[in-house]
Amino acid sequence: GVSNFDRDLIERCLAIRHVDSLQPEFSMLDRRNAELIHWCGDQGIGVVTYGPLAYGLLTGRIDRGTTFAPGDWRGRPQTEGPFADLDASLAIVERLRPIAERLGCQLGQLALAWNVHQPGVTAAIAGTRNAGHARSNAAAGDIELDPATLAEIDGILEGEA
């Protein structure tokens, strides 16, 4: 397996031997690897995403006033990723909240369910700080997202809703 490889690097590996898995960053707020993930699925390469909760943003527990512990990278200015434009990321989170409420799940569960419903994604790694979060994250695996809900979410993520 490989982590954070782009398509060119994976193809170089494939010339030697099959690649069993890729571990890329991927979330509702960072979809840069969507095309690569889909391609991997077509190649029979398993994809285990990391950062599916956008480092806490997609849990709904972070807002503009959140203060991070000293040394926490999320409290420093960012140039890319979901913390680079925090206001835009938080606006998306708020537009997702009614969908989670309608489905009777937490925002983080919605984010995890969406992640594993994406073409090519095999599994998602969700960090946790306690047993309650681990149980909540695991319950996301029971959430089914129908095509209409997935399209609604995609509209929000693409700025159409």
pLDDT in tens, 86-144: 999 999 999 999 999 999 999 999 999 999 999 999 999 998 888 988 898 888 999 99
Total-model pTM = 0.92
pLDDT in tens, 10-35: 999 999 999 999 999 999 999 999 99
The set of residues, in sequence order, having a beta carbon less than 8 Å from that of 6 and lying 6+ positions away, is 36
Alpha helices in 16-158 (DSSP H): 34-43, 86-103, 107-116, 131-139, 147-157
